[in-house]
Amino acid sequence: MSVVHVVLPGDIDDPATPSGGNAYDRQVCRGLAGRGWTVREHPVPGAWPHPGAPERAALAAVLAGLPDGAPVLLDGLVASTVPELLTPHARRLRLVPLVHLPREDHAEARALAVAAGVVATSEWTRRRLHDRYALPADRVTVAAPGVTPAPLTSGSPAGTRLLCVAAVTPLKGHDVLAAALAGIADLDWSCACVGALSRDPDFVAGLRGRLAADGLTDRVHLSGPRVGAELDVAYAAADLLIVPSRRETYGMVVTEALARGLPVLCSDTGGLPDTLGYAPDGTRPGLLVPADDPAALAGALRRWLTRPELRAGLRHAARQRRDTLTDWTVTVDRLAAALKEATAS
């Protein structure tokens, strides 16, 4: 029976701070266990990717305690920041960083250089890692997120129920969304922002102030994090998912929406265009706009809200795209293959 040690951020199961990376990690741990692997998890608490001395010491102790030859899957939030802790174990352990979001710095370059293999969660990330670090062509395996099947949303005729699912931070672009919504205040709509409010309190406070100044407090609801059935309810109540991120390597919320036949309006940054993809007839199941461009986002929202034929076309495309999505079994199979190859190398 194969054994894999998985080094995870300490907040992986914290419902107050859900993230796509944590959801991915949990899915693959369950999937590997379901395929007969013995999965030994090692959560490492701390403010990753900015660990202090106690967090570094805790990780060093975990690595030192692992048996020679063991495959070790390390979340990139941890692995990419502490190459000096990985290097002493690179010859005796089969280290495999799991890169969700490339940091593109010297520390990450050193960490990936000593790895037996690397798993990237999107084709965009793989290309970025190869371009940035000139890794060998066979070093990086792509194991893109799967999606859990979900019921179709019904959608309202006017399409006025907008949804954003992301931690409220500058990277996710909630300030861009707020500015865009102020530009369409003359139209009928409401927007639910579902996501953690604790990652950047100053940004959240500034966002609340902006919404109040623009008279949008009653129309834009910062709902806090939602997981499980509560998140399902949020998707079911929505007409359009908005992803205004400044940078995104994949965007699991996009496929979560498409699994429900819900159209998506998102930035054209990073891996989002690939994740949005196309319906079998070649049409997009949503709209793409430039990142960090409130005017472009407002224009796309205005088109969505004022053109019934556009809404109908995007809803049809989203339902067709739904049938092309892969589930988590594909993800886990690719990751398991990468672990076996790293162990054999």
Per domain, the residue ranges of the chain are 3-146+326-344, 161-322
The reply to whether 161-322 shares the fold of 3-146+326-344 is: yes
Q: Which amino acid, one-letter code, is at 171? A: L
Express each pLDDT in 166-218 by its tens digit: 999 999 999 999 999 999 999 999 999 999 999 999 999 999 999 999 999 99
Q: Which CATH number fits domain 3-146+326-344: 2.102.10.10, 3.40.1390.10, 3.40.50.2000, 3.90.1570.10?
A: 3.40.50.2000
Q: How confident is the model at residue 136 (pLDDT cuts 50, 70, 90)?
A: confident
The whole-chain average pLDDT of the chain stands at 96
Express each pLDDT in 239-288 by its tens digit: 999 999 999 999 999 999 999 999 999 999 999 999 999 999 999 999 99
Classify 161-322 by CATH class: alpha beta
Residues in the chain: 345
